[in-house]
Chain A
């Protein structure tokens, strides 16, 4: 069973609010990722990190930002939420040394009203 946790699971928030989605893993993985999943199910990489103090933007442009101050923690922040940010956000992690599988959290379903 994967040890990667996301909080909150569900969040409904008003337009303009600042929010942080939390993601933590206890597996000591160097690589961590944020994916956005739209209602049509497609998953798009929005941020990734290959270690502490390393963050990169993914293939899908996103107004969110991330930080990686500790190996186990990879939070995602939206400074000013908008309805277009409504989506499911999935966090994942994997080992650095090989192309091993990624382990996913249960996701945060964000609704901006």
Chain B
């Protein structure tokens, strides 16, 4: 079975705080891809990052960073110095190799207050 779990339903922080969104996944596949998407109030899902199962290097993009650990089946997302514009629902997702279909976690609603 393939599953993605985002245990944090809602997170509220004050601007400039760092925040980490947790993502734990389950899959029997040895090759798979993990994604993070952002859903602002306008409704569309915006792609943030893709990581394949063979690349465990952490990645940093501006204030965003991702920590992929196969040993714990986790792909956590950290926002440094959060801003009000970061307020959105964030989804972690999994797709098996060749599958194309995304399996989403339940989403984490992040609220950044000024």
Contact = CB atoms under 8 A, between A and B. Distances in A.
Interface of A: 2, 9, 31, 33, 35, 40-45, 48, 50, 58-59, 88, 90, 92, 94, 96, 99-107, 109
B65 interface: no
B35 A101 contact: yes
B101 A33 contact: yes
Contacts, number: 64
B43 interface: yes
Interface stretch (B17-25, B75-83, B103-111): B103-111
B98 interface: yes
A95 to B, nearest CB: 9
B107 A42 contact: yes
Given A41-B89, A101-B50, A58 B101 contact: yes
A108 B73 CA distance: 33
Interface of B: 33, 35, 37, 42-47, 50, 52, 89, 91, 95, 97-104, 106-107, 109
B34 to A, nearest CB: 10
A72 to B, nearest CB: 18
B87 to A, nearest CB: 14
A103 B43 contact: no
Contact of B109 (A31, A41, A58, A107): A41
Contact of A99 (B45, B89, B98, B109): B98
B53 to A, nearest CB: 10
B102 A42 contact: no
Given A31-B100, A33-B101, A48-B101, A90 B106 contact: no
B100 A88 contact: no
A86 to B, nearest CB: 15
